[in-house]
Amino acid sequence: MSGITFRGTGEQDNGIWDTVAAGRSTGPNLGTARGCVRAAVLLATAAASASVGAGVPPKSFEVRLDDTPPVRLPVHGFSVRQMNAVNVNGHYWAYVDVVPWTSPFHPNTYSTSVHAYESDDGRNWRYRGEVLPRGEAGAWDAGGVATPTACVAGGRILVAYSGRGRSDGAGPRSIGLATAATPLGPFDRRTAPVVSETGQLDDPILVTPPGEEGRVLLYYRRADSQGRYTVSLCESRDGGKTWTPPEVVLRATGDIRAIEPLDGKWIGGRLVFAQVEHFQRGGMKTALYVSSDGRSFTPCRKKYLNDWLRAPVRFAFGPILTFVPDADGAVRTIGLCGFTGGAGHYTHWFFGLRPQKDGER
């Protein structure tokens, strides 16, 4: 197995210099697609408070994209917004938001459903169709299901999603959970939301800490009636059957108006967590955080990948970032959401990571 050496920019301390499998680090990051210009992802060495933006300045580590052109996710008369990848017995599966180009709500994920893709290598994907339709009439998620996330626990596939009560995106939203024995289902859906909490609940992220069978972490964002945004955590110790009450782990504060989780993967002993942050002054960027315990998060020193990432893709929605895990837990591929042309359509592009070359600085 090839490796990448991650180099600290400061003094060596706290045992954080690692030579690890490609991408299996305290936070894989990105460079340019072809020129491989250096772009460091800077990760923390100490815990932070629960407020977004707080934390001790971290060491920096470097990883670069390989020289191969990115691979575009195929679409068929629709756009793909949120995407979450999982590895099942060495095979790659992804669960996605599908927004038909003909939808009156495009580009928004209202009145939508969850679809699946599969891949042999994590970069070239095949569309496999709808796996989670909207709830039946009168159900709490009859207005649409969106923002899927997946993991494997207890020998089953778990897919969490945001369910909407109305097809126009208004009204209540909460977090649903469906499970299946195989990636394409059939899925057994809970008849009620996983989380009993008021407010607009959306953007779930499922994470399985390594070496802890049956333990699942569920993150989601909540917007209350005053427009305040937080990210909460619920935990399961029995493969998703029961969950602890929610606890807040991140808050939108200061010039950050809203936060929306994108993806999280346990990589190299730390949880790498990506979320879109919307600013009071307008605009949005994709932020990166790390955590050693899944509860205390510290931002990367170069927090916003928009500030240093250069890629041949016009970013969409942040951009939305997807980590693609290999069978051994390493992340050697990432996906970025981008626009495909002037009509406002969008999909994902997949970039490979490469080791640092000898003598490269």
DSSP characters over 24-77: -SS------SSS----EEEE-SS---SBTT-SPPPEEEE-EE-SSPPEEPP-SS
Report the alpha-carbon distance of residue 81 to residue 96 in Å, rounded. 7
pTM of the model: 0.82
Tell me what the mean pLDDT of segment 137-166 comes to.
91
Look at strands 321-325 and 298-304 and give their pairing.
unpaired
**pLDDT (tens digit, 9 = 90+) per residue, 70-85?**
999 999 999 999 999 9
**More confident: 311 or 262:** 262
What contacts 24+ positions apart, CB below 8 Å, involve 130-138?
A: 130/98, 131/95, 131/159, 131/184, 131/185, 131/187, 132/95, 132/159, 132/161, 132/178, 132/187, 132/189, 134/167, 135/163, 135/189
Report the alpha-carbon distance of residue 240 to residue 243 in Å, rounded. 7
Tell me what the mean pLDDT of segment 114-135 comes to.
96
Which segment, 65-69, 175-179, 296-300, is predicted with the most confidence on average? 175-179
Contact, 287 vs 299, CB < 8 A? yes
What is the pLDDT at residue 108? 74
Report the alpha-carbon distance of residue 259 to residue 220 in Å, rounded. 10
Tell me what the mean pLDDT of segment 19-37 comes to.
28
**What sign does the CA torsion over 121, 265, 22, 330 have?**
negative
**pLDDT (tens digit, 9 = 90+) per residue, 211-229?**
888 999 999 999 998 999 9
**pLDDT (tens digit, 9 = 90+) per residue, 338-351?**
998 878 899 999 99
**pLDDT (tens digit, 9 = 90+) per residue, 33-50?**
222 222 223 333 222 333
Domain regions of the chain by residue span: 3-354
Asked whether residue 15 carries a pLDDT value surpassing 50, the answer given is: no
DSSP lists the bridge partners of residue 5 as 19
Please provide the size of the chain in residues. Answer: 361
100 cis-preceded (ω within 30 degrees of 0): no
Contacts of 166 (CB under 8 A, 6+ apart): 143
Rounded alpha-carbon distances, angstroms, from residue 338 to 122, 206, 318: 18, 23, 9
CATH superfamily of 3-354: Glycosyl hydrolase domain; family 43 (2.115.10.20)
